[in-house]
Amino acid sequence: MTPPRDDPIAVTGMAWDTALGSGIEEVWQRVLAGDDGFRAFPSAVPVRNELAARLATGPRPGGFAEQYVAVTTGTARRALADAGLADATGCRLVFGTSLGPHADAPAAGSLHAWAAETGRRLAVATAPVAVSTACSAGSDALTVAATLIRAGRADRCLAGGVDLLSPAKLLGHSAMGVMSPTVLRPFDTGRDGTLPGEGAAVLVVERLSAARGRGAPVHGFLRGWGSANAGTSLNEPDTSGVSGARAVLRSLATGGCEPADVGVISLHGTATAANDDAEAEVVRRVFGAGARGPVVLAAKGAFGHTLGASGAIETVLALLALRDSTAPPIAHLRAAPPDFPLPLPIGAPMAVSGEFALNLTLGIGGFTTCLLLQRGDDAGRRDLSRPASSGAIR
């Protein structure tokens, strides 16, 4: 039986493992303080910059495949505990990554193998879903989980993303010419490229009625989602902003919201000129130019570019920003472009109003996904049965 659409999809558990730590509140406070997790990651082959945001908890023992399983399993268990669940019984698993352990170990089996082993360690009988859509993979894992729940194919999901650093990924950033020789500065006038990071985030998502039935806390809601693919280039984003705007407007339409309802937007913010300019065009098309719109979150200055994990990590960050009505300062941003269309927190946190957030991820190959999130303490306060967004792509 398909659950009714007026039974929202709630986030009841969340956990992460990042370059700033693994505790939700610990990391949140460090992000609010403007900290970053970059440190030297020596490479056997010369690269443009040896700075990378490595896990604060350090590398796990074993090969790359084992490290993926260990990080994902540990993060999933902490998300279950946060949701008040003793184990993963009754959960479907949906995990995203870019290339998983394959960038350095092409013989490591299929991209499903690490997810399958994670499921075995979590004692989940149903085969997991493994998503590999470049940098949007973590967000796409959440959309798959939400779709399974909405379609009545799952009651509860563990969903998220993981990507770990490796020599090949460091070399890849350098060889593509997108690696900063200095530091990652999203949307800064002096931005000169991105820097790699590693991390994981896993969320427990389930129908609100099920969460309320067991007295679970609700961190927030996954209200809508939308995707698009520009098909313009393997490596470059759609600089017109049309594809990104489609994803944003589709997520708003799914959730029955208008652009004016959004209080905060998490942008991909890789600090490459092409990405940052493309996202500026996206928000101009959606929110217009000159009007005060949502406050911007841009996490990569703190966490590095965590590839397939970024969408999941930034979903947790957006829910925390909604919870505390606060957007953290964008790490290393000192001088914003004078024509940037949205407020950028520089040097200090910025107040956020409203109960909705967007999380936009832009992936290599044109994959673009946007999630619409709602603050958790507003359960049932707003009627979402009104007509879907009528916003047009400007």
Which sequence positions are flagged as catalytic?
A: 135, 268, 305
The secondary element (H helix, E strand) that includes residue 39 is strand 38-40
Alpha-carbon dihedral 64, 65, 68, 73, rounded to 10 degrees: -140
Confirm if 275 and 268 have CB atoms less than 8 A apart. yes
12 Cβ contact list (under 8 Å, min separation 6):
82, 83, 84, 204, 205, 206, 211, 216, 217, 218, 219
CA separation, residue 107 to residues 62, 100, 102, 111 (Å) = 15, 12, 7, 11
At 68, list the tokens: 């993926």
The candidate with the shortest Cα–Cα distance to 5, out of 247, 255, 210, is: 255
Residue with tokens 């961190």: 219
At 350, list the tokens: 């910025």
Beta strand pairing call for 91-96 and 129-131: parallel
Dist. CA 207–CA 212, nearest whole Å? 9
Dist. CA 240–CA 330, nearest whole Å? 24
Neighbouring C-beta atoms of residue 37, cutoff 10 Å: 23
CA separation, residue 134 to residues 61, 125, 307, 332 (Å) = 25, 27, 7, 25
